[in-house]
Amino acid sequence: MSIEIMGSHQLPDWLHHHQVSLAFTTYQTGKLFLIGLQPDGRLSIFERTFNRAMGLLASANTLYMSSLYQLWRFENALEPGQIHQGYDRLYVPQLAYTTGDLDIHDVACDRTETPIFVNTLFSCLATVSHRHSFIPLWQPPFISKLAAEDRCHLNGLAMENGTPSYVTAVSQSDVADGWRDKRHNGGCVIDVKGDRIILENLSMPHSPRLYRDKLWLLNSGTGYFGYVDMEAGRFEPVTFCPGYLRGLAFFEDFAVVGVSKPRHNKTFSGLPLDAALQDKGAEARCGLLIIDLRSGDIVHWLRLEGSLFEELYDVAVLPGVRRPMAVGLKTDEIRRMITIGPAPTVI
């Protein structure tokens, strides 16, 4: 599999200065990528294969990631200050919930660290179960029943204080696969607590996130990163990004967004993004963009080149991590990765 990953000249310095690493998932090729720094200051690029890797939630020691029919939880197996083969984080897949193919998009955790995810196939928010594929938690007010029909293409989830707060959907359709007819301007943002639509006329919105008292999102079909003006009830574009936007994370004064090349099919063709790219004399790219929130400028980037690498789904920032790696399931490495937890004080 041929791939070339290129970073902007100052990207390694930015990672070093802020003491962070990056993670992202590639939808088509089923990869989890971990980007950090080698001892000599060059980019460290580590990847593992998981079929249809999508939703990603990360902290310094835990990763959640959705795949084709499972929701994975990875845990860092290293103690503070410990190094393994030159890496300061070693994410091991410790737990997998087998959900079936729900087309899980965004993943989050509530106050009790229980995972909550966007169940796109059933048009609802859901959580995991020890017995069932999922437990439904909430559905949009325009969805009349739970059905495996991907009616509105519910995809994004913003949490506030450990509680689902806002979601994005491509349409308000209540029929099977109805969202495909509303790609251009049928997208909306829904207030979960209030059960009401707060913003309409978006083009395939994704990745809502609450950060610094603003609701940010990606108006993917137009190529714009921006935020919701709650008082005016409109989307305020901040930065045009050359590609189809999916995946959004924040760190200090920066946003990290994922850009993809649009698929060559009816679903992704004819969107406002096409005309915007033509007007700017640009072509869609696949990779990451780092945006300075103070200016709206794209200050750093990472590009993926290769015939099989055209789409990203989600991105995450790993604070306090210099060089991460992960254990996969396709080699004997997983058999030899054994750690011992602390013994209980009382039996």
Q: Which tens digits make up the pLDDT trace of 166-213? A: 999 999 999 999 999 999 999 999 999 999 999 999 999 999 999 999
Q: CA 331, 334, 339 angle in degrees (round to 5)?
A: 160
Q: Hey, what are 75's tokens? A: 């845990």
Q: Average pLDDT by consecutive 10-residue portion of the chain (347 residues)? A: 86 98 94 97 96 93 97 96 96 97 98 96 98 98 98 98 97 97 95 97 98 98 97 96 97 98 71 94 96 98 87 96 93 86 82
pLDDT at residue number 1: 59
- CA 80, CA 96: separation in Å to the nearest integer? 25
| 186: Cβ contacts below 8 Å, ≥ 6 apart | 170, 171, 172, 173, 179, 202
pLDDT at residue number 336: 86
Structural element, H or E, at residue 203: none
pLDDT at residue number 184: 92
Q: Which CATH architecture group holds 4-331?
A: 6 Propeller (2.120)
- Please answer whether residues 153 and 161 qualify as being in contact, where contact means their C-beta atoms are separated by less than 8 angstroms: no
Taking alpha carbons only, the member of 103, 105, 124, 125 closest to residue 114 is 125
Q: How far is CA 113 from CA 75, 107, 163, in A?
A: 14, 12, 11
- CA 122, CA 110: separation in Å to the nearest integer? 20
Its pTM stands at 0.95
pLDDT at residue number 267: 64
| 320: Cβ contacts below 8 Å, ≥ 6 apart | 19, 20, 60
- CA 198, CA 64: separation in Å to the nearest integer? 29
pLDDT at residue number 331: 80
